[in-house]
Amino acid sequence: MLMRWLWARVIWSGPGWYRILKREPCSPVYRPDAMLDMADLPIARREIFAGKGYLLTNTLQTTRGCPFDCEFCSVTAFYGRKYRERPVEQVLAELEVLCKQNSFAFFVDDNLVANRRYALSLFSAMKGMGFKWLSHAPIDFAGDPELMRAAGESGCIGMFVGFESLNQESLVAMGKVTNQATSYLEQAKVFRDHGIGILGSFVLGSDGDTPAIFEPILRFCEAARIEAAIFPILTPYPGTKVRERLETEGRITSNDWRDYDMGHVNFIPRGMSAAELQAGHDWLNRSFYSFSSMYRRIFKLHRSVQVFAPMNFGFRSAIRRTAKVMV
């Protein structure tokens, strides 16, 4: 009986057991023959998170890939440039389940609005569901008032936005084709006018960056009232174009993956020393999450403050904890 059960398990479990029994070595990297069809994406088993203290488990993905190809970005290395959408009906079915637990959702897409027609149909269908949600969009989303209005009306209260740099030459060099630095202030205001807060991202350490970049970034964030931000140090992740270039130029200084957390310098910067880059990054984080800067940026009447005020306090305490560990 036991043997019958065991064989039934072996046959049922398929190639994994077969490999063990045949003593076939496991592969260090498994590569798919083709990208997953988004219609085959299963609904996540969120019940496994119960009792584990997670702040939010209402995360879901509607699209994968990005049509752009920024030099530093690992998204296209991982998901490819072909933008793939999950059928809207399937997303709505998952949202119906989620709204029973929590009316807050985070679409973890890397660029939710790359296919305008898809995004518009998703936002229109979500209108009235009562969700408040966050996701990612490029800054030029501000140039599409109809789509932005639909996002706001469907409950969007914040977007992760990659500003990356205030220097247009650096933006061009990194391939950030969606960004015009001279339009940032005006575009940030459009987000705010639609009730959509911004979690901005600025990559530090591009070849055009010098020690003079840090203070203007802080001043810009305050002038534009950027609700929250991250300031990642340029990190040459495997598969990215920037890694290929820095490797060719002999500028990678560490392959210790523990330091590949966007808070450590793992390459030789061009416009400043590694120590200056690290110090500028640390200063910017401390200054941005100081009480005075938080006051200037977020304590104005705006519907996104409900999410961004706690987010600021969360980032602030995480930065202070990290600083203590490093002392």
Applying CB under 6 A, which residues contact ligand SF4? 66, 68-70, 73, 75-76, 110-111, 138, 162
Structure tokens given for 305: 């403050």
Is-contact 85 115, C-beta < 8 A? yes
Indicate the SS3 state at residue 277: helix
Is-contact 206 165, C-beta < 8 A? yes
277 beta partners: none
Return the number of the residue (73 or 233) whose C-beta is nearest ligand SF4.
73
* d(C-alpha 199, C-alpha 230), whole Å: 7
Q: How far is the CB of 165 from ligand SF4 (least distance, A)?
A: 12
Q: How far is the CB of 313 from ligand SF4 (least distance, A)?
A: 27
Return the number of the residue (69 or 282) whose C-beta is nearest ligand SF4.
69
Q: How far is the CB of 81 from ligand SF4 (least distance, A)?
A: 8
Q: How far is the CB of 176 from ligand SF4 (least distance, A)?
A: 6
Return the number of the residue (78 or 313) whose C-beta is nearest ligand SF4.
78
Return the number of the residue (98 or 233) whose C-beta is nearest ligand SF4.
233
Structure tokens given for 239: 């598969």
DSSP alpha helix (H) spans, the chain:
2-13, 15-22, 75-79, 88-98, 116-126, 145-153, 168-174, 184-193, 214-223, 241-248, 274-288, 291-298, 305-326
Q: How many residues does the chain have?
A: 327
Structure tokens given for 181: 């630095």
Q: How far is the CB of 143 from ligand SF4 (least distance, A)?
A: 15
Q: How far is the CB of 198 from ligand SF4 (least distance, A)?
A: 14
Return the number of the residue (203 or 284) whose C-beta is nearest ligand SF4.
203
Residue for token pair 């990612």: 136
Return the number of the residue (196 or 294) whose C-beta is nearest ligand SF4.
196
Return the number of the residue (165 or 304) whose C-beta is nearest ligand SF4.
165
Q: How far is the CB of 68 from ligand SF4 (least distance, A)?
A: 4
From the number of C-beta atoms within 10 Å of its C-beta (0-12, 13-18, 19+), residue 155 rates as buried
Is-contact 59 108, C-beta < 8 A? yes
Q: How far is the CB of 47 from ligand SF4 (least distance, A)?
A: 31
Return the number of the residue (138 or 158) whose C-beta is nearest ligand SF4.
138
Q: How far is the CB of 75 from ligand SF4 (least distance, A)?
A: 4
Read off the amino acid at residue 133: W
Q: What is the DSSP letter of 33?
A: S
Closest alpha carbon to 253 in 229, 219, 277, 281: 277
Return the number of the residue (76 or 266) whose C-beta is nearest ligand SF4.
76
- Largest Cα–Cα distance of the chain, in whole Å? 75
